[in-house]
Amino acid sequence: MASFHFSLYSMALILVLAALTSSFVPPTVSTSRLMGRSDLKTGFQVTLKRVDSGGNFTKFELLKRAMGRGRKRVDRIHAMVLATVDVRVEAPIHAGNGEFLMDVSIGTPPVSYSAILDTGSDLIWTQCKPCTQCFNQPSPLFDPKKSSSFSKLPCSSDLCTALPMSSCSDGNCEYLYTYGDTSSTQGFMAAETFTFDNVSVPNIGFGCGLDNEGGGFDQGAGLVGLGRGPLSLVSQLDEPKFSYCLTSIESTKISKLLMGTLASDIDLSRDTKTTPLIKNPSSPSFYYLSLKGITVGDTRLPIKSSTFAIKKDGTGGVIIDSGTTITYLEKQAFELVKKEFVSQIKFPVADASGETQLNLCFTIPSNTQEIEVPTLVFHFEGADLVLPGENYFIADSSGIMCLAIGASHGLSIFGNYQQQNLLVVHDLVKETMSFVPKHCDQL
C-alpha cells in the first residue's frame, strides 16, 4: 500500500512530512521609482499572514477557527453559483472574506493597511471617510482628502462599466458589491496610488466604501480581489501571472504573494505539476480546475467522471481557493474517499465531529509509535498531485487524528490546507496552474 508514515513524539502526534525539495530566493526588487501598468518588469512580493496569526492557538484550534469562517465562505460561494442560474436574483453575489491578510499602502503619502486577500472575487475596496456605516478595523479609515493622488472615477470609465451593479451621481461612479451572507460594501469608485513592498503603482481603481455591512471583514481594512475579472488587482496590473506560497497553518512564518517577474522567473523543477485552468462563464472570477479522479493508497476510487464537471447551468466543477480552509468534495466523492481511508487505516474510527468539526477521525492508541497513512493523489488533467501527509491529516496530543476534507453539494473546492508548502503559480496567458513543492517559509 502506498503510504506516508507518521511518528509520535512525547505527548503530541507529529505528522512526518514528505520531503519537500528545492528552494527559491527571489531577486532583489528595485523600489526607487513609481511604476506604471506595463512597467512591472522587476515585479514585487507581498507578505501574507493568516488572520489568526499571533493568537495562542493549537494547530487543531487554528483549523477549527478557520473552518468556522470557511464554512460561511463555502455557503457564500454556493449562493453565488446558484445566483448565476436564478434570474430572480437582482444583486450579483461574490465570495468575499478569506484567511490571509496582505500588507498594502494607499495614497500619497502612503498609509499602511492590512487587507483581506481574496482569489474568489475581483473588487478592491477599503473603508473611507466620511463613513456612514463602517465596521471596526485595526487601522484608521482611509481619508481621501489627505492624499494628493486621489481622484474619483467617472461613470464613463471602463471599471465603472465592469461593475456588476453601479449608478451615476454628479458624473461619479457609485457601486454596490454584495456577498453571500448579506454582507456588502457600497460607496464610490476612485483611482489611487497603491504601494506593495515599496513598489508604487498609480491609478489603481478601487471602491471607497462608505456603507459597509455584515461580518467577516473586521480582520482588515477592506479586501483585495485577485479573481479573473477586470476589476481585480491582477487584471488592473496587466500582469497575468502571479503565485503564492502558503506556510503551514501553525507556522509563525509569513506566506508570500509574488507578482510580475518574481512569479514569472520561478525555476519550475521536475516535481512541478501543471494543469489547465478551466473557465466557467457563469462564475468568471473563480479559478476552475479539471479534476479527473482521486486515489487513496493504491486504489483509484470509482468516482463518476461527471462528478467534478461543470454543468450546463454553471453549477458543479472544482475551484481552487485560497480563502477556503479545507477541501470540500462533492458528497458522493467524499463518501468514497472516507470509505477508502476507513478501509485502509487500521485504527478505530472516532466520533469526534462535534469537537473537531471534521467528518472522519481516528483514535490512535497511546502506545503507538508509528502510523502508516495511505497516500492521497488528486488526478487533475495532466497533473497527478501527490499531497504530503500533513496536507490532509491533522492530529493532536489527545490521540485523535482527522481527515482535513469535508463534503459539499453543487461545487467542489480545493482549499488552502491542501495547498500548504506548495508554490501555486497562476499563468493567465497559457491558462494553466502549476504546483511546485517548496518550503514556503524559506522563500
427 assigned to active site: no
| Cβ-based neighbours of 408, under 8 Å, separated by 6 or more | 74, 78, 328, 329, 330, 331, 334
The pLDDT of residue 34 is 45
Taking a C-beta distance cutoff of 8 angstroms, is the pair 437, 422 a contact? yes
Tell me whether residue 271 is one of the annotated catalytic residues. Answer: no
Domain assignment present for residue 28? The answer is no
Residue that terminates a domain, selected from 237, 259, 281 = 259
Of 86, 122, 197, 321, the catalytic one is 321
Has residue 264 been placed in a domain? no
For residue 27, being part of any structural domain is answered with no
Do 14 and 66 have their domain in common? no
CA–CA dist 133, 131 (Å, integer): 6
Looking at the fold, whether 347 and 410 belong to one and the same domain comes out as: yes
Residue where one domain finishes, among candidates 259, 288, 320 = 259
With contact defined as beta carbons under 8 Å apart, do 96 and 73 qualify? yes
Q: Show which of 200, 231, 259 is a domain's final residue.
A: 259
Residues 221 and 219: their CA atoms lie apart, in Å, by 7
Range of the domain at 195: 37-259
Tell me: do 319 and 392 sit in the same domain: yes
- Shared domain for 16 and 87, answered yes or no, is no
DSSP string for 249-318: TT--SPEEEEETHHHHT----TT-EEEEEE--TTSTTS-EE-EEEEEETTEE----TTTTSBPTTS-B-E
Judgement on whether residues 118 and 247 belong to the same structural domain of the protein: yes
Instruction: Examine residue 224 and state whether it is found in any structural domain, yes or no.
Output: yes
Task: Name the domain count of the chain.
Answer: 2
253 & 371 share domain: no
Residues 112 and 51 in one domain: yes
- The answer to whether residues 347 and 300 belong to one domain is yes
Rounded CA gap, 124 and 114, in Å? 12
Q: Are residues 14 and 94 in the same domain?
A: no
Catalytic residue among 39, 52, 103, 118: 118
Range 293-296, long-range pairs (CB < 8 A, 24+ positions): 293/379, 294/329, 294/333, 294/336, 294/337, 294/376, 294/377, 294/378, 294/379, 295/375, 295/376, 295/377, 295/379, 296/337, 296/340, 296/341, 296/344, 296/374, 296/375, 296/376, 296/377
Grid cell in block for residue 158: 471602463
Domain for residue 29, yes or no? no
Q: What is the CATH number of the domain that holds 276?
A: 2.40.70.10
Q: Are residues 192 and 301 in the same domain?
A: no
In a domain, 51, yes or no: yes
Alpha carbon distance 383, 289 (integer Å) = 11
How confident is the model at residue 79, as a pLDDT?
61
Whether residues 210 and 283 share a domain: the answer is no
Q: Answer whether residue 30 is part of any domain.
A: no
| Residue 107 and residue 229 in one domain | yes
Please report whether residue 93 resides in a domain.
yes
Per-residue pLDDT of the chain (443 residues; tens, 9 = 90+): 566 554 433 333 333 333 333 333 333 233 333 445 545 556 889 999 988 877 778 888 888 888 877 666 676 676 655 555 444 334 443 444 668 999 999 999 999 999 989 898 899 999 999 989 888 888 889 999 999 999 999 999 999 999 989 999 999 999 999 875 567 899 999 999 999 988 999 999 999 999 988 766 667 888 999 999 999 999 999 877 899 999 999 888 899 999 977 776 666 677 899 999 999 988 888 999 999 999 999 999 999 989 999 999 889 999 999 888 999 999 999 999 999 999 999 899 998 776 778 999 999 988 877 778 899 999 999 999 999 999 999 987 788 899 999 999 889 999 999 999 999 999 999 999 999 999 999 88
Report the predicted TM-score, pTM, of the whole model to 2 decimal places.
0.85
